[in-house]
Structure 1
Amino acid sequence: MNKNLILIYLILILTLNFSCLDKKSTSKRINQLELKATSRADTLKFTSGIRAIFQDSKGNYWFGSLKEGVAVYNGESFNYFTINEGLTDNQILSIQEDKKGVIWFNTQQGVCSYDGEKIVNYTKADFEKPQVNLPVQENEALQSQWMKTDKDLWFGAWIKEGVYRYDGQKLIYLAFPPHKVLNHSDNLFAVTDISKGKKNIIWFGTYAGVFGYDGSDFKIINDESLGYDRAIAPLHIRSILEDSKGRLWIGNNGIGVLLKDGDSIINFSDKNNLIHPTSGRKGDKSMPGTLEHVFIMTEDSKGNIWFGDRDAGIWKYDGVKMTNYTKKDGLTNDTALSIFEDDKGELWFGMKDGKVYKFNGKTFERQY
């Protein structure tokens, strides 16, 4: 073979080999970058229940626990806050964000905020004075402070019969208006849940009744207005939701879900045969396939109503039928303490064992 042809042939072979090597090397680097971008460098370390899930305006996810404080996930790692960092308590009841981007926590012992640098406590020193059974003059003075704007953040006041309102400048305590009390016992009208509704109304669910406030007047729903005998089937409200159709859902610990649609109120659980015939309706552990102890409710962007039952898993109501999700659908336990839809329309579920799931449309996928 001609020496020149042999030389050209060798050069071509070497060129092809180096080209293949370079392609393999480039492919490896891309794969490594993709792996780094999609893998989590950290995972949520909570083992107690997830009481609250929230996504802030920067896209960070916040997780409030039952006993271990709060954690924030920035897409790569978690950062934790407890009483050691300034929280008033390690049990987180709710998480919100104000118009300035400050994150607010309602804990079992007080309201505090985090501006990205420090935690500020607003209630420990200023609001520990009990506000129930006040003198008439002082009660009337507190009533005159009731008002609402679009900037407000609202917080339950734990064992006190009222709420805290943050108007963007200050946080004040507001006592509920005088109301008829049936078989009163301690903490009967302590707030358990809050829901903003249509027609400028905000609903406050308490153990023994519901207060609706529209900026000027109150609506009160209690045993008497519902025709319930507390000795037989007591109200024990744990969750409340006004949906996009203006219907008010009232979740109880024992008697299931009440549904107020206009002037009519029905027991939604009873109507759908979701209360067991042997149920005592007073908080006893319920059977599978029931909806008797409803601790959390939300409506997704498609109009589905979601319920978290204490004993019987997660339920979805699509307006026609009820669907029950339990451990058979990928969950590690049957108690959801929080349900949250993020800005992508993805549904997150916080469970009592500290696990966090997302719903893929059919089953639940463990996230943390």
Structure 2
Amino acid sequence: MVLNNLLLCSFLVIFTACKGQVKTHTARDLILFEPGPTVIKNFKAVAIAPSFDTTLVSQYIRSIFQDSKGNLWFGTIEEGVARYDKKTLTYFSTPDGFINNTVYAINEDKNGNMWFGTDQGVYKYDPSAELRAGGKTFRNYNQKDGLSHLDITRKGILVDRMGTIWVGTHGGVFRYDPVADSKGEPSFSLFQELPPINVAGIMEDRSGNIWIASASQGVFRYDPSARLKAGGKTITHIAEKELLGENYAGGIAEDKEGNIWFTMKNGICKYDPSAALRASGKTFMEYTPKDGLGGTEFWGIYIEQSGIIWVTARGSTTRFDPSLPASDSSAFRVFTPADGLNCCVQSMYQDRAGNMWWGAGSGLYRFDGQRFYQVKKQGPW
């Protein structure tokens, strides 16, 4: 039996080397190749129910992000932020200077600093500080730094192509000024061109426009290049659809054709910016449960590199192939808890290797092509 297992492992290693990247792994494959990491956690999480499964990466994972070094970061509720680098799973919290333990948004700036959005403002993590004696790795930005609203929304931190850091809160959008920060002055200021909206998601499209979805006032598009045009309009307010952009997990994404997708009250919709330039162009196209979406109360939307769209809602998660007509029964595939994924999905992310990750109401999940499986501290990663 041992010999057979060794032969099996050898065959799998040779097959992988010959074929290159394997697009779909099963849970068994991952168990063979990804041993459990060393867990570094020098604190005890608070306010977690006695029934909490301590083998989970975390009970609630609100945000997922991969940095430029390939590390995966998981923003949790009550357990701070965790970093997975294949060898270790490190939890950062109060002892490290990360006082708030609930993380809603994660991003990385052009200098390799990590930014975390919480309900107590923004934290910046300087990885180089770990190499300096007495270096402080985390810094908190709050009211004294110009953030008059401290509750950062999910997907509420954007680093645009120019390196500007945008922060979406329940009371408007703020921008970070590194020069002011270096002088010890308030480094965040409210973006005055927008009303004080409750931000539900913020994204930059391929043309450099900034899209801001609000929780109840539709969607806003900011075109920074319009400043250079005579009479250019920098802000466009899009609110033709009822509760467009309303969501709980940053329901806004761009596909390869440049269409912008949003969650809305009764489903999702595709917004074609170029349609307005065409005679009789249809700007919006809606998809609802009548078309094949599963669940109600739609939360989040994520578009894979392949173009596949994932939509989360109360009660289910839907995989949607927009290359197929909505009338095609294969266009929509609805997954429920019976397929292995807890229904309360709070975050979705695709890493650079093409793997999809889900943060749900009972931990971290991956997808093997047919079913979802849970990723615990010791794997399968």
Tell which has more relative contact order, 1 or 2 (C-alpha 8 A, sep 6+): 2
- Measure, in 1, the Cα distance between the counterparts of 2:79 and 2:258: 36
How many residue pairs get aligned? The number is 290
Aligned to 1:312: 316
Q: Tell me the secondary structure at the aligned position of residue 319 of structure 1.
A: coil
Q: Normalised by the size of structure 2, how large is the TM-score? A: 0.67
2:220 to 194, 197, 211: 211
SS state at 2:288 partner: helix
The residue aligned with 1:294 is 298
Paired AA for residue 164 in structure 2: D
Q: Which residue of 1 aligns with 2:146?
A: 127
Q: Is 1:221 aligned to residue 232 of structure 2?
A: no
Specify the alignment match of 1:69 in structure 2.
80
Match of 1:324?
Answer: 334
Greater Rg, structure 1 or structure 2? 1
Comparing 38-47 with 309-318, greater Cα deviation is found at 38-47
- Secondary structure, in 3 states, of the residue corresponding to 2:338? helix
| Separation (CA, whole Å) in 1 of partners of 2:357 and 2:268 | 22
Change (3 A) 1:300 1:61: same
CA distance in 2 between counterparts of 1:366 and 1:80 reads 19
Partner Cα distance (2:124, 2:373) in 1: 31
Unaligned runs of 5+ in 2: 14-30, 40-54, 131-136, 151-159, 182-186, 228-233, 277-282, 325-330, 377-381
Deviations 1:41-60 (A, max 9, x none): 44664443211111112221
Q: Could you say which residue in structure 1 is the equivalent of 2:375?
A: 367
The TM-score normalised by the length of structure 1 is 0.69
User: Do 2:114 and 2:124's aligned partners in 1 also have CA atoms closer than 8 Å?
Assistant: yes
Note the C-alpha offset of 1:360. Answer: 2.1
Pairwise CA RMSD: 3.2
Task: Give the alignment of 1:105-120 within 5 angstroms.
Answer: 105-116=116-127, 117=130, 118-120=137-139
Gaps of 5+ in 1: 1-23, 132-147, 180-186, 275-288
Paired with 2:194 and 2:204, the residues of 1 have a C-alpha distance of 22
Matches within 5 A, 1:1-368: 38-42=34-38, 45-87=56-98, 89-116=100-127, 117=130, 118-129=137-148, 150-156=162-168, 158-165=169-176, 170=181, 171-177=187-193, 189-208=197-216, 209-215=218-224, 216=227, 217-222=234-239, 225-226=240-241, 228=242, 236-238=246-248, 239-252=251-264, 254-262=265-273, 263=276, 264-269=283-288, 272=291, 274=293, 289-290=294-295, 292-320=296-324, 321-331=331-341, 333-353=342-362, 355-368=363-376
What is the percent sequence identity of the aligned residues?
A: 28
Alignment deviations for residues 12-33 of structure 1 (CA, whole Å, 9 cap, x no partner): xxxxxxxxxxxx9xx9xx99xx
Q: Could you tell me how far apart the structure 2 residues matched to 1:327 and 1:271 are? A: 21
Question: Which amino acid letter does the alignment assign opposite residue 312 of structure 1?
Answer: S
Structure 1 residues 194 and 234: alpha-carbon distance in aligned structure 2, compared to 1, 3 A threshold? closer
Q: 1:88–1:112: 8 Å Cα contact kept in structure 2?
A: no
CA distance in 2, matches of 1:36, 1:235: 42
Distance 1:362 1:176, change over 3 A: farther
Secondary structure of the equivalent of 1:100? Answer: coil
